[in-house]
Amino acid sequence: AIAAMAKEMPDLNRYVENGQIEFMPYTMVYLEDGVFKQQKALNTWAEKLKQALKKGYDGMRVTGYIPWHENAEWISITSYEAEINKAIDKANMLALCAYPFDKCKSSEFIDVLNNHRYAFIVQRGETLALRPKTVREMNQQLTSARTTSLTPLMKRFTISGLKDFKDQELIELLL
């Protein structure tokens, strides 16, 4: 990632030396003794924002990537996402989160979409930008809609929830 950024940003080293850009391995931000720790991650971002404001910056932009997770950790990760969103809303902070969707289950895909205002999905070299509906919004839409106006995917969702949906079907349902 650093090499790709340096290729596009010839002044990258200057930004790093000035402390305007910092690269931190996910293990430093999210893990303690090899295990995801929500409070550690929240504290790390709070401290980094405090440092940026102290240097005179108006806020902070971050990007995070979680290439790992065990099923037991997923609930903690989604809880963290909800908490960091509250912090971002209160601070002058922008965040871009990346997930390896090829390794996510459908239910995890839904969790990610529910915890983010926008999603950018790269598929077959094309980027799809969307503002996902939350499951709550979908339920409201479905309960207020007449049964005859529901698409086949919506009808299937009302009967079985998200069980057995394929990734592309989930995207179509959420748009």
Structure-token match 């922008």, residue found: 94
Q: If 0-12 CB within 10 Å is exposed, 13-18 middle and 19+ buried, where does residue 157 land? A: buried
User: Nearest CA to 170 among 109, 116, 103?
Assistant: 109
Report d(CA 36, CA 151) in Å as an integer. Answer: 40
The whole-model pTM stands at 0.69
pLDDT of residue 90: 86
Summarised one tens digit per residue, pLDDT across range 151-175 is 777 766 666 665 566 666 666 666 5
User: Does residue 24 surpass a pLDDT of 80?
Assistant: yes
CB-side exposure of 57: number of CA atoms within 13 Å?
A: 17
